[in-house]
Amino acid sequence: MRRHKNRGCGYGCGCHSCRTQPIVCPPMYRFHDTFTQREVPFVHPIVNVNRQNVVNVPRHYFTESETTVPGRNIYADPYDPGFGKPGFGKPGCGDSGFFRGRHY
């Protein structure tokens, strides 16, 4: 058998020393994924709160009282056609004529 000068490996000459041993690589994985749905329950509790709010609304009440106070003095003018007019205290107008002609 003849040997190669280049260390005798991998040249395919058919000799025993030139036969190569196979190199086994680590396996490659190909994934073909499929998916299946599965329901997961999520519970959301809700609390209903009824609130009663107080709103202040003004309501006005009025009280009444009465008092009598002295006013000013008013004198009748004899020349005024009002109270001092002659004939104001005539009989038949609800007056007996007692104050006729008198000044007070």
> Which two three-digit tokens encode residue 99?
């104050």
Cα dihedral: 27, 13, 7, 22 (round 10): 10
> Which two three-digit tokens encode residue 93?
């107008």
pLDDT of residue 73: 84
Residues of the chain below pLDDT 70: 1-18, 80-104
Q: What spatial distance separates the first Cα and last Cα of the chain, rounded to whole Å?
A: 177
Query: Who's near 103: CB < 8 A, 6+ residues apart?
Result: 78
Rounded Cα gap, residues 104 and 96, in angstroms: 17
pTM (global) more than 0.85: no
